[in-house]
């Protein structure tokens, strides 16, 4: 029996619908939440990401604004912009779009954002709150994964979870969130020995290594829930043949487009071995912007009482 597909788009739409009602209530009380995105330069991918985030703000009724300093902006100039936004009472969330131009010290800029307005959840204070179980703003992609599990009625408490990847953006925070939901968590990385054997112990397997289709059937415990965080574009025909050899429609689409998006999990293995899995695209990805919106509303509530 094929695995259950966990539809991230459906869950995203549920969350945005709920947030729309909350934002309307806050606006009626004169406390409409606001998000400002800072886009330095003209990176095409970043422009698309920021545009999609602003469209989501408009959809749920948030106040939004985009600042576009030029590509030659210095670290000090960007720090001054962040300081001004920190002081604005109508701004609840500050989003500095990454990557930044090479002359800018991204670490200094991100830590300059007031933790109460850190809607990306990347500030050391935000990570510290997460690690110690205190209220705060959580990185968006990990928060979205927990929403997928809960809204899909997949038990977390008491389950064995394995996280493949230890990044500060995904691996570490999702491990902490799973611990907070009373899972037993193992975090693996490129130096871990016998990754497939460890992964096969997981009732909940998170793949966040950034390597296309690395997680094959020997990594997946039959019936496990697999959350695929990877977003990789493949353009090599032999790699496409290896991955999609049993999927003629996928191969045909690859030949038409010349490339395809794929996650860190082999899609055939996920469908045939797992009990449930998030597809790529359409799984974890759509939740990231939804949780950014959720963080902005949460920041407004925390700031304004």
Domain identity same for 110 and 182? no
Respond yes or no: is residue 217 known to be catalytic.
Answer: no
The number of domains in the chain is 2
Domain identity same for 144 and 251? yes
Confidence (pLDDT) at 303: 86
Domain identity same for 52 and 153? no
Active-site hit among 97, 118, 172, 221: 97
Q: What is the CATH number of the domain that holds 44?
A: 3.40.50.10860
pLDDT tens-digit readout, 8-48: 999 999 999 999 999 999 999 999 999 999 999 988 889 99
pTM of the predicted protein model: 0.93
User: Does 198 reside within a domain?
Assistant: yes
pLDDT band at 135 (very low <50, low <70, confident <90, very high): confident
Respond yes or no: is residue 120 known to be catalytic.
Answer: yes
pLDDT tens-digit readout, 50-66: 999 999 999 999 999 99
Q: Among the three residues 115, 130, 157, which one is the final residue of a domain in this structure?
A: 115
Domain identity same for 102 and 152? no
Q: What is the rounded distance in angstroms from the CA atom of residue 157 to the CA atom of residue 32?
A: 36
pLDDT tens-digit readout, 151-193: 999 999 999 999 999 999 999 999 999 999 999 999 999 899 9
Domain identity same for 145 and 261? yes
Active-site hit among 53, 117, 172, 221: 53
As given in the structure block, the two tokens for residue 14 are 């549920």
User: Does 189 reside within a domain?
Assistant: yes
Domain identity same for 146 and 61? no
Radius of gyration over every alpha carbon of the chain, rounded to an integer in angstroms: 20
Crossing angle of helices 140-151 and 171-180, in 10° steps, is 40
Domain identity same for 151 and 110? no
Domain identity same for 88 and 153? no
Q: Which residue, 265, 258, 260, is CA-closest to 279?
A: 265
What domain range includes position 89?
A: 32-115
Domain identity same for 150 and 261? yes
Q: What is the rounded distance in angstroms from the CA atom of residue 197 to the CA atom of residue 174?
A: 21
Q: What is the CATH number of the domain that holds 182?
A: 3.40.50.720
pLDDT band at 200 (very low <50, low <70, confident <90, very high): very high
User: Does 252 reside within a domain?
Assistant: yes
Active-site hit among 92, 117, 118, 120: 120
Domain identity same for 179 and 260? yes
Domain identity same for 94 and 159? no
Domain identity same for 271 and 144? yes
């Amino acid at each position: 029996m094929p695995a259950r597909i966990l539809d991230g788009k459906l869950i995203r739409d549920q969350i945005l619908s709920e947030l729309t009602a909350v934002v309307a209530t806050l606006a009626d009380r004169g406390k409409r939440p606001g998000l400002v995105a800072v886009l330095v330069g003209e990176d095409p991918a970043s422009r698309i990401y920021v545009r999609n985030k602003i469209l989501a703000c408009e959809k749920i009724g948030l106040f939004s604004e985009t600042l576009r300093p030029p590509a030659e902006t210095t670290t000090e100039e960007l720090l001054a912009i962040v300081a001004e936004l920190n002081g604005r009472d109508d701004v609840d969330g500050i989003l500095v779009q990454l990557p930044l131009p090479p002359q800018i010290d991204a670490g200094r800029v991100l830590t300059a954002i007031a933790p109460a307005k850190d809607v990306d959840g990347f500030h050391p204070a935000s990570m510290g709150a997460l690690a110690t179980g205190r209220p705060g703003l959580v990185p968006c992609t990990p928060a979205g994964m927990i929403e997928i599990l809960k809204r899909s009625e997949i038990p977390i408490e008491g389950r064995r979870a394995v996280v493949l990847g230890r990044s500060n953006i995904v691996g570490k925070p999702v491990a902490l969130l799973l611990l907070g939901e009373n899972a037993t968590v193992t975090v693996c990385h490129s130096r871990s020995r016998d990754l497939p054997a460890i992964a096969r112990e997981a009732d909940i397997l998170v793949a966040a290594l950034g390597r296309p289709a690395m997680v094959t059937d020997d990594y997946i415990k039959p019936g496990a829930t697999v959350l695929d965080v990877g977003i990789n574009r493949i353009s090599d025909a032999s790699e496409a043949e290896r991955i999609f050899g049993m999927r003629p429609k996928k191969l045909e689409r690859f030949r038409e487009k010349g490339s395809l998006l794929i996650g860190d999990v082999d899609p055939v293995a996920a469908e045939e071995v797992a009990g449930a899995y998030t597809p790529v695209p359409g799984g974890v990805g759509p939740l990231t912007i939804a949780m950014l919106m959720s963080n902005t509303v949460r920041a407004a509530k925390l700031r304004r009482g």
